[in-house]
C-alpha cells in the first residue's frame, strides 16, 4: 500500500469521530510522508496543527496505523508550510462546498412544536448580561418539573434586547426543555410574522374560531419578536383573546421583543399592560469574558480549532451581537485554514471591521446577490412573487438591514417601493431560514464574502 492510500484509509477510520468540516479543513493538509521500519513521518502545515494533532489524535492515528502495519511504534512530524494540495486551484471551491449540515450541529426543526432542537441550555452561556431572563426561564422550567404547571409570577415572561443577543435561543431552549421533561405537553414556538399570517388567513377563510381554539390548547406558547404585531389590529384582537384564555387555563406564555412593552408603538394599551403583568427582563450585550466564553462554546460546538489570539481579537472587536461573533468565527476559520497564519487572519478580519459599512453600497449588495442567484436587478425589484425572485429579494433586504443598517422604509424604497412591513417580514424570513437551513447559512456566508471581498 502506498503512503497516500494508507493515509486515506486512516482518514476514513476518523469519519464519524470528527466533523466533516474538520476533516476537510485540517486533514486534507496533512500527509503521510515517509515510512521506515517502526516510524512514520507525517507532514503538517504548521506548529499549530502539529500540536492539535498530537494532543487530540496521536493515539488514534497510531492505533489505526498499527492495524495496517503492526510494527509501527512512533510518529514523527515535519512542518512543511509551503506544501500545497495537489489541486490547489480547486481547493477554494471545495471549501465553500463544505457541508454544514453534515457538521455535528443539528438544524432540525420539529414540525409540530416549531422548535429548533439546536437551541438548548447545554450550549447557552449564562452571564451577568442575561442573568435575569435566564433565571426566570429556569424558574419556569422548574415549575413544570415540580408542579407540572406554570409560574404565575413569570406569566408572561417578556424578554427584550437588540438583535443577536439570544432571545430566540433562550425562548426555544425553554420550549425544548419543557418538552424534554414532559413529553405530553403541547409546546408551540412561532415567530410573530408567521403568527400574524396564520391569523390573517384564518380571518379570510372564516376559520378564526378554529385557530383560536388551537392556540388555546397549548400548554406553552412562545411568540418570538412580538413587535411585529404592531399595526395589525385583527391579529391583536385575536391574540388578546388567546392570551387571556391561556393565562386563565394555567398555560405559560413567553414573548420576545426588540424593546420593552412601554416602548412598543401601534400596539393596543390593553395588550401592553398584559405584557407588563408578568415578568419583563432584558438582555444586555455581553462583556469581554462572556464573549470569550461564548466564542469558545461556539468553536467547540462546530469543532472549530483556532489559536486563542484570534478568538481574543474577535471578542475584543465584536461587542454588540452574538450572531456576528459566530459569523466572524466561521470566517476566521476559513481564512486560517487557507494560510495558517494568525497575524494575516487578524489583519484580514480587521480590514473587514474597519471599513465594511462605509465601503459597500446598496447597489453593490444588489449586484452581488443578483449575481449569486443569477437574476437581473429588474427582476429582483419587480412585484413578481415567483420563488426564484422572492428569496434573492429578501436576502437583499436582510443584508441592507443587517450589514448596512438601513431602515426598513428606506430599504422598501430601494427595492421597488415596497412597504416597510414587507421588508420587515422579508428580513425575518431570512433570519429564520439562516437558523434552520445549514446550506442556506453557507450561501449567505459566501455572499458576504463576495460583498466584502475577502
Ligand atoms: P436574537 O433572537 O436576540 O436576535 P438569537 O437567539 O437568534 O438572538 O441569537 C443569535 C445567535 O447567538 C444564535 O446563534 C445563538 O445561538 C447565539 N447566542 C445568543 N446568546 C447566546 C448565549 N448566551 N450562549 C450561546 N450562544 C448564544
Ligand atoms: Mg430572534
Residue 5, all three cell numbers = 492510500
Per residue in 22-70, pLDDT tens?
666 667 678 888 888 889 998 887 777 788 788 778 888 888 888 888 8
Nearest alpha-carbon partner for 330 in 344, 355, 357, 349: 349
Cα-to-centroid distance, 171 and ligand 2 (Å): 9
For residue 260, is pLDDT > 80? yes
For residue 343, is pLDDT > 80? yes
Q: Which residue has the higher pLDDT, 167 or 336?
A: 167
Lowest mean pLDDT segment, chosen from 87-96, 153-162, 200-209, 372-381: 87-96
Residue nearest to atom 11 of ligand 1 (CA): 323
Per residue in 347-388, pLDDT tens?
988 877 765 455 688 999 999 999 999 999 999 999 999 999
pLDDT at 33: 86
DSSP class of 382? S
Cα-to-centroid distance, 166 and ligand 2 (Å): 7
Among the bound ligands, the one closest to the CA of 225: 2
pLDDT at 102: 33
Query: Phi/psi of residue 437, each to 5°?
Result: -130, 105
Among the bound ligands, the one closest to the CA of 189: 2
| pLDDT averaged over every residue in the chain | 86
Give the sheet arrangement for strand 279-282, strand by strand: 187-191, 220-224, 252-257, 157-160, 279-282
Q: What is the DSSP annotation of 36-57?
A: ETTEEEEEES-HHHHHHHHHHH
pLDDT at 107: 44
Amino acid at each position: 500500500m502506498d503512503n497516500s492510500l494508507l493515509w486515506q484509509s486512516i482518514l476514513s477510520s476518523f469519519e464519524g469521530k470528527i466533523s466533516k468540516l474538520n476533516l476537510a479543513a485540517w486533514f486534507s493538509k496533512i500527509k503521510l510522508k515517509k515510512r521506515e521500519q517502526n516510524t512514520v513521518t507525517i507532514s503538517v502545515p504548521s506548529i499549530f496543527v502539529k500540536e492539535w494533532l498530537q494532543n487530540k489524535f496521536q493515539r488514534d492515528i497510531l492505533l489505526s496505523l498499527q492495524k495496517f502495519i503492526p510494527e509501527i511504534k512512533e510518529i514523527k512530524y515535519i512542518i512543511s508550510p509551503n506544501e500545497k494540495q495537489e489541486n490547489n486551484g480547486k481547493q477554494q471551491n471545495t471549501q465553500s462546498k463544505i457541508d454544514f449540515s453534515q457538521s455535528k450541529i443539528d438544524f432540525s426543526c420539529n414540525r409540530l412544536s416549531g422548535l429548533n432542537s439546536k437551541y438548548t441550555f447545554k450550549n447557552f452561556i449564562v452571564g451577568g448580561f442575561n442573568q435575569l431572563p435566564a433565571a426566570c426561564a429556569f424558574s419556569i422550567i422548574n415549575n413544570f418539573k415540580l408542579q407540572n404547571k406554570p409560574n404565575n409570577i413569570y406569566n408572561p415572561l417578556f424578554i427584550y434586547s437588540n438583535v443577536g443577543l439570544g432571545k430566540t435561543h433562550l425562548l426555544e431552549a425553554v420550549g425544548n426543555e419543557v418538552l424534554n421533561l414532559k413529553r405530553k405537553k403541547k409546546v408551540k414556538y412561532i415567530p410573530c410574522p408567521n403568527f400574524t399570517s396564520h391569523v390573517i388567513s384564518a380571518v379570510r377563510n372564516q376559520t378564526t374560531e378554529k385557530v383560536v381554539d388551537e392556540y388555546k390548547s397549548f400548554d406553552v406558547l412562545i411568540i418570538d419578536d412580538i413587535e411585529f404585531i404592531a399595526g395589525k389590529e385583527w391579529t391583536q384582537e385575536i391574540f388578546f383573546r388567546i392570551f387571556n384564555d391561556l393565562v386563565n387555563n394555567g398555560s405559560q406564555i413567553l414573548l420576545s421583543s426588540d424593546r420593552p412593552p412601554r416602548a412598543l408603538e401601534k400596539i393596543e394599551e390593553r395588550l401592553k399592560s398584559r405584557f407588563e403583568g408578568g415578568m419583563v427582563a432584558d438582555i444586555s450585550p455581553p462583556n469581554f469574558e462572556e464573549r470569550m466564553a461564548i466564542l469558545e462554546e461556539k468553536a467547540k460546538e462546530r469543532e472549530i480549532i483556532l489559536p486563542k489570539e484570534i478568538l481574543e481579537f474577535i471578542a475584543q472587536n465584536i461587542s454588540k451581537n452574538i450572531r456576528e461573533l459566530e459569523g466572524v468565527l466561521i470566517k476566521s476559520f476559513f481564512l486560517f485554514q487557507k494560510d495558517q497564519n494568525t497575524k494575516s487572519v487578524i489583519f484580514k478580519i480587521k480590514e473587514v471591521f474597519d471599513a465594511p459599512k462605509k465601503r459597500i453600497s446598496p447597489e453593490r449588495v444588489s449586484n452581488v446577490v443578483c449575481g449569486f442567484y443569477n437574476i437581473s436587478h429588474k427582476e429582483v425589484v419587480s412585484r413578481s412573487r415567483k420563488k426564484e425572485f422572492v428569496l434573492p429579494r429578501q436576502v437583499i433586504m436582510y443584508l441592507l438591514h443587517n450589514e448596512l443598517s438601513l431602515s426598513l422604509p428606506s430599504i422598501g424604497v430601494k427595492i421597488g417601493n415596497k412597504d416597510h412591513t414587507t421588508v420587515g417580514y422579508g428580513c425575518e424570513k431570512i433570519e429564520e431560514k439562516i437558523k434552520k437551513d445549514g446550506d442556506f447559512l453557507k450561501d449567505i456566508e459566501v455572499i458576504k464574502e463576495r460583498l466584502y471581498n475577502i
